[in-house]
Amino acid sequence: MPETLDTTLLDRALEVARGAASAAGELIARHYARGVEVELKPDATPVTIADREAEDAIRHLIGRAFPDHAMLGEERGRSGASEFLWLVDPLDGTKSFVRGTPFFSTQIALMHAGELVLGVSHAPVYGETMWARRGGGAFLDGKRVRVADTRGLKDAVLSLGNIKSLTADAQRWIALGALIREVNRVRGYGDFAHYHFLARGALDIVIESDVNILDVAALAVIVREAGGVFTDLQGGDLDLETCSVLAATPTLHALVHERM
């Protein structure tokens, strides 16, 4: 049987996660200011010393507080075995980071017995931090936030991310085109930004493909605690294999899911 997860443990875990994200953000901001060399991983994605140092800092702080918990990180892989699994992307948006744009963040989430229960999204240069834990609401820099009450597609703002892979599915690509014609406005904020906007009511729908669970786990908790719905494009719950996102206000999620 899974261990009991009470609010006291969750609150402590959230405090530790926020501290770890802040520490990572300070390291990342310093590297951003002076510039770093860029390497390519085997999958041709970029990585820098900022990614590695930030993950090491997060691992140290979380590991000190919760030595029995497991961890899955973007740069250092998986360690430990536990019903508690920390999901860490120390620098989500490395491509933005190395191009000198501020759309990158540190993402930290906690999964308990397969369920996402808390998330922290810290964007140090952009200047926003959001966090949430199960049953506790979602917050932007200490202020509670909610998704918008938008109910009709004609009034909705849609943001798209990583849509290149959607073009490989002809039916879905046609469906996306039809959806674009129905909504009020289309944007492509990407990375953490459009989920922050969704959670605080500044847009209404996010569709994204070609993602990793580490990119979106924390953001899923935040959007859900802000009153939104966050699934994969098929409408399924998130797991370690998730690679797409449909996130929206409750009414719009149902409408978009029917079309996609």
Separation of alpha carbons 198 and 202, rounded Å: 6
SS3 134: coil
Whether residue 241 is found in the same domain as residue 184: yes
Does residue 100 sit within a domain?
yes
Per-residue pLDDT tens digits for 68-84: 999 999 999 899 999 99
**Rounded mean pLDDT, 128-148:** 97
**Rounded mean pLDDT, 138-161:** 97
Does residue 142 sit within a domain?
no
Per-residue pLDDT tens digits for 211-260: 999 999 999 999 999 999 999 999 999 999 999 999 999 999 999 999 98
Rounded to two decimals, the pTM is 0.95
Whether residue 178 is found in the same domain as residue 93: no
Whether residue 48 is found in the same domain as residue 101: yes
- Residue 38: its pLDDT value, please? 81
**15, pLDDT greater than 70:** yes
- Residue 108: its pLDDT value, please? 98
Label the pairing between strands 70-73 and 84-92: parallel
**142, pLDDT greater than 60:** yes
Instruction: Tell me the C-alpha to C-alpha distance, in Å, between residue 207 and each of 28, 55, 107, 166, 194.
Output: 28, 27, 19, 10, 10
At 3, is the pLDDT very low, low, confident or very high (cuts 50, 70, 90)?
low
**89, pLDDT greater than 90:** yes
pLDDT, mean over the chain: 94
For residue 12, the domain's CATH number is 3.30.540.10
Domain that residue 107 falls in? 7-136
Whether residue 241 is found in the same domain as residue 158: yes
**27, pLDDT greater than 70:** yes
Where is mean pLDDT largest: 41-50, 96-105, 139-148?
139-148
- Residue 2: its pLDDT value, please? 46
- Residue 34: its pLDDT value, please? 83
Whether residue 33 is found in the same domain as residue 120: yes
Determine what percent of the chain is predicted with pLDDT higher than 70: 98
C-alpha 146 chain-centroid distance? 17
SS3 29: helix
Question: Please, what sign has the CA dihedral across residues 67, 69, 74, 76?
Answer: positive
Whether residue 132 is found in the same domain as residue 160: no
- Residue 1: its pLDDT value, please? 37
SS3 39: strand
If one counts the domains in the chain, the total is 2
For residue 223, the domain's CATH number is 3.40.190.80
Whether residue 88 is found in the same domain as residue 176: no
Does residue 252 sit within a domain?
yes
Q: Which residue among 74, 102, 136 closes a domain?
A: 136
Range scoring the smallest mean pLDDT among 42-51, 67-76, 115-124, 127-136: 42-51
Separation of alpha carbons 247 and 156, rounded Å: 13
H-type alpha helices, the chain: 7-34, 49-65, 94-99, 170-182, 193-199, 213-225, 250-259
Whether residue 186 is found in the same domain as residue 82: no
Q: Which residue has the higher pLDDT, 205 or 6?
A: 205
At 4, is the pLDDT very low, low, confident or very high (cuts 50, 70, 90)?
low
Does residue 232 sit within a domain?
yes
Residues 6+ apart with CB under 8 A from 28: 50, 54, 90, 91, 97, 104, 106, 124, 125
